Amino acid sequence: MSTPIKRLEIIKNAIELEDDDIIQSQLTRLKNEAFDEELQAIVVALENKNYTAAIRAITAWLQGQRAVTPWRDPQVAASKLELKALEERLRDLIDRRNARVQQLDEFNDLYFSRLGPLMQQILALRKTLAELNLRRQQAEARRREEDYRRCQRYMAQAVEVLATLTQRWRDLPADSVQAAEARKQLQQQSNLIANLLAEALELESGLTREEEPARQARDEANEEYEKYREQHHDAEVRLRKGKDLSEEDRNELKRLWRQASKLCHPDLVADDLKEEANTMMVQLNQAKQRGDVKAIRSLVARLQQGFEPMMASDRLNDLERIRKKMAQVREQIDTLVNELAELEKEESWLLVSSLNNMEAYFAQQEKALHEVRASLEHQVSEAQLESAA
């Protein structure tokens, strides 16, 4: 009821201002809101430019409505309009973010398609090299352990000799030549024991110190290889599904997905609809991954035609809740502005947004990766020869 009242107040003021442009712009909207005979009669009078009858009927209708229509705080309408503007700003930022993410995803899929097999070979070679290096370190650790045990045996023997020499020295007269000679032998044996202790200490620190980084490098190489293989597989699946669509359908899929994601994004809806919006976003993303244009069309139609308004500005009428939502949306806007600024600084985005010749870029990358593969193959061969020696 409040919309026709506001509309007729604008038209009444426009008649008094003799501004026909405002009258005609509001008349178009009033036609869709003429729910009773009195309003329909006002529409007819305005269409016929019978402004004398129109202003009389408008004045009478407004007076009648004011008698039965409860007072509405103008701050509510102002806040709803401000919230709507904030939501539109947030929608635009979400759309920009989605567009950039989509562009990066498409580039990554193309990268996997063009260079994925070669990159997978490189990662497999790195995995092999890391495994060979770990085996070499393990063999070195075993050698060190053998040396450590040998050092222990020598130490035990040296300590026994030291005990014998000590007893002999104690048994000799202090002023004898034999006592002086025994003391020299005792000193030499003590030096030998000190050297054996130093060697044992060095061997102890190397038993695990050198093997652990090699083990970690092996694990990281395995993890990187498996992760890349999964990403490559997923990219191939997406590309195969994309090839099943015509160019027209692919473009429509992108357009509809961006349109639908703006209409039902969880950040844009009232709190009581977030769960439903999340469900729709999941359905939307699943349809996009399947390349299901029909399903996305259906979701867009549902959002545009047969679905209740989901925007908070369309649903909220409590001033406190509206202002709370405004603060929330402002915070989301600040977050997205910062997120976009960070994204646009990233190396991947700087690359994608600046590429003028995609074919030349991939040719250059392929050449560089072939050189990396050749170098790794040489390193693996040398490591295999070393381990066999």
Q: What is the pLDDT of residues 113-151, one digit of tens each?
A: 889 899 999 999 999 999 998 888 888 888 888 888 898
- 28, 71 contact by CB (below 8 A): no
73 Cβ neighbours under 8 A, 6+ residues apart:
319
- The pLDDT value given to residue 340: 93
- 28, 46 contact by CB (below 8 A): no
pLDDT band at 309 (very low <50, low <70, confident <90, very high): low
Q: How many CB atoms lie within 10 A of CB 52?
A: 9
Residue 76: pLDDT above 90? no
Helix, coil or strand: residue 330: helix
- The pLDDT value given to residue 336: 92
Q: What is d(CA 179, CA 191) in angstroms, rounded to the nearest whole number?
A: 18
- Rounded mean pLDDT of the chain? 84
Confirm whether pTM is higher than 0.85.
no
Domain boundaries, the chain: 2-72, 79-117+243-388
Query: Bigger pLDDT: 268 or 111?
Result: 111
pLDDT band at 242 (very low <50, low <70, confident <90, very high): low
Q: What is the pLDDT of residues 139-197, one digit of tens each?
A: 888 888 888 889 889 989 989 998 998 998 998 888 888 988 989 998 998 999 999 88
Q: What is d(CA 98, CA 257) in angstroms, rounded to the nearest whole number?
A: 10
